[in-house]
Amino acid sequence: MTTKQKLYLAGPLFSDAEKEFNRSLKSRLEQFIDVYLPQEDGGLVVEMVRAGISEREAWDFVFKKDIEEINDCNVFLIILDGRAVDEGAAVKLGIAYALKKECIGLQTDPRRLLPNGNNPMISGALRTVFHSVQDLVQDFIARYATAALPRREETERCG
């Protein structure tokens, strides 16, 4: 029996549109790889506070759960869409990179592609950036989800 790899999906998760995009992407990827989506599998601070948990406890829970799940993943996927990369997702990318996780990006939004692109601290941590969900599914997940992923230092940088 082949065990699926695990992917941590990081990105903005605040607006209804962002949350729906994340849910849709998770649904597409789950046929190939186990997906951890913080908004569904971890918890949202706003919802926890509404449920009566103190803000401090909610923040601590989310932070610790995210670190635990990043440690447990094989692949870290950051959504790069928007005028700026979500700051929480960027911090998580740094953690995943430091842990030598396979880090990839998805950027379907062309606003930062030209003239200067993404911050080099973001781009430098990513093995590959895909520009459509279809490319992500076909070119990466289908190829690597059930195979042992190469360590970051063994792979050639793609862009």
* HEC assignment per residue over 74-116: CEEEEECCCCCCCHHHHHHHHHHHHCCCEEEEECCCHHHCCCC
- Angle at Cα 66 formed by Cα 65 and Cα 67, nearest 5°? 90
Q: Report the share of the chain in percent with pLDDT over 70.
A: 82
Task: Indicate if the pLDDT at residue 95 is higher than 50.
Answer: yes
Pairing outcome for strands 102-106 and 128-130 = parallel
Q: Fold for 6-152, please state it.
A: Rossmann fold (3.40.50)
Q: Facing residues of 36 across strands?
A: 8
- Specify the pLDDT at position 114: 53
- Specify the pLDDT at position 48: 92
For the record, the structure tokens of 22 come out as: 């994340």
Task: Indicate if the pLDDT at residue 156 is higher than 80.
Answer: no
- Between CA 56 and CA 42 the distance in angstroms is 16
Closest CA to 61 of 47, 46, 42: 42
Asked if 115 and 89 touch (Cβ cutoff 8 Å), the reply is: no
- Specify the pLDDT at position 115: 59
- Specify the pLDDT at position 93: 97
Q: Is 67 helix (H, G, I), strand (E, B) or coil?
A: helix
Q: Is 79 helix (H, G, I), strand (E, B) or coil?
A: strand
Cβ partners under 8 Å of residue 33, min gap 6: 4, 5, 6, 7, 75, 141, 145
Asked if 105 and 130 touch (Cβ cutoff 8 Å), the reply is: yes
Interval 136-156 mean pLDDT: 59
- Residue 118's pLDDT band, with cuts at 50, 70 and 90, is confident
Q: Report the share of the chain in percent with pLDDT over 90.
A: 62
Domain positions in the chain: 6-152
Interval 42-69 mean pLDDT: 94
